[in-house]
Amino acid sequence: MSLFSGKKILLGISGGIAAYKTPMLVRAFIKQGAEVRVIMTPSSKDFVTPLSLATVSQNPVYSSFIAEDQDNPLWNNHVEMALWADYMLIAPATSNTIASIAQARCTNLLLAAYLSSQCEVFVAPAMDLDMYAHPANQKNLATLSVNGVLVLPTEEGFLASGLEGKGRMQEPEDMVSFMENHISKHLPLFGKKVVLTAGPTYESIDPVRFIGNNSSGKMGFELAKQAAALGAEVVLISGPSALDLDHAKITVIRVTSADQMFEASKLHYTDAAIFIASAAVADFKPDTHATQKIKKETNFNQINLIPTPDILAHLGATKGKQFLVGFALETENELENAQAKLERKNLDAIVLNSLNDLNAGFGGDQNKITYLQPNAEPIAFELKTKTAVAVDVFDQILLAYEKTS
């Protein structure tokens, strides 16, 4: 999963030889989970075909203000295209296109979309070395930067003229990485470490049997993905779960028992900015573990239980600058029990959910929560997908965390 997952990219292509790289650029964004739409200048079609770009993007490609459909022409709404985008990238950006952007000219659909954009805009220059170095082009590029456009660096190498030097457009993967790195630095949790626990713990009775619960880990995994989307470096300590997560900013640590989760939590707590304990940790474990499977014939009829480590209480007692969030799954007196847990364990916030809420809780894809924090009224949310709940939780965390950090 990438920072671009679920994002909408508007790619503008102008008429330079580097346009031949744009189908690979579209493919690179799609591999990161983005949706891509393409606007071409008329001259760019001399270098790459709209059919190729429509095929790889799986979206129509636009190049004129009017879509000519026999006797029923349609307006290609540049405003709608511009407002649709989360990010806009113009690549390649020729000398002519750069000059037009700098001077707010509006002579084609691409320029009109740029002038209507409300999102962050990136420009990837591509031209011969002497054109790129010309004072007029450098002045125009500087104007773009002043106007808030992010100008990607060019590369050195062989150019279409046969010369060698600076002016080549970056390779598609490098452009995606450059944009991702730039965007990450402006996210609210960039440079912060967020640690989460998720899933159940299994407390072994013998090699075959255990004490556990029905937690799937879905809520914790969604919280981890949201933390990464906000720029954090994430450590996810997960009990037994069928879920998997492949994300460059998320390290998954697999544990089984409460003791193992306790040790992993202590290890990663010291330098955490935010710690979210969403795991359903077993409260008790057998006082002994049988090394062999217990047979029926032994008339085994009793398991002596002892408490597991209270992970959240320990973290609350040793808390420094960490922002500590707990979860409470309740079946009765929900608000009172959650409020007591918030205070008793020295938490900065607690997320309450109830087994009494239909279609919420363990195993499902939805949850209904109430967010509690010290000296504030509880905030109740409607039933939502766990993905949306993760967004709500971090919205609340950030409001408080930014005041204390």
Residue with tokens 């346009």: 19
Please answer whether residues 309 and 279 qualify as being in contact, where contact means their C-beta atoms are separated by less than 8 angstroms. Answer: no
Active site residue 181: no
Residue 378: CA count within 13 A, CB half-sphere: 17
Please answer whether residues 179 and 87 qualify as being in contact, where contact means their C-beta atoms are separated by less than 8 angstroms. Answer: yes
Q: Specify the amino acid at residue 281.
A: V
Alpha-carbon span 89 to 23, nearest angstrom: 14
Helix, strand, coil content of the chain in percent (nearest 5): 35, 25, 40
Backbone torsions φ then ψ of 124, nearest 5 degrees? -115, 95
3-state secondary structure of 169: coil
**DSSP secondary structure code for residue 309 in this structure:** P
100 to each of 46, 106, 167, 170, 372, how far by Cα in Å?
20, 7, 19, 21, 52
42: tokens are: 């008329």
> Taken in order 277, 282, 287, 293, is the CA torsion positive or negative?
negative
Alpha-carbon span 230 to 324, nearest angstrom: 18
Burial code of 343-360, b = ≥16 C-beta within 10 A, e = fewer? eebbbbbbbbbbeeeeeb
Please answer whether residues 50 and 59 qualify as being in contact, where contact means their C-beta atoms are separated by less than 8 angstroms. Answer: no
3-state secondary structure of 394: helix
Please answer whether residues 282 and 305 qualify as being in contact, where contact means their C-beta atoms are separated by less than 8 angstroms. Answer: no
Catalytic residue among 77, 213, 337, 346: 213
Burial class (CB in 10 A: 0-12, 13-18, 19+), 161: middle
Residue 356: CA count within 13 A, CB half-sphere: 7
Q: Which residues are catalytic?
A: 213
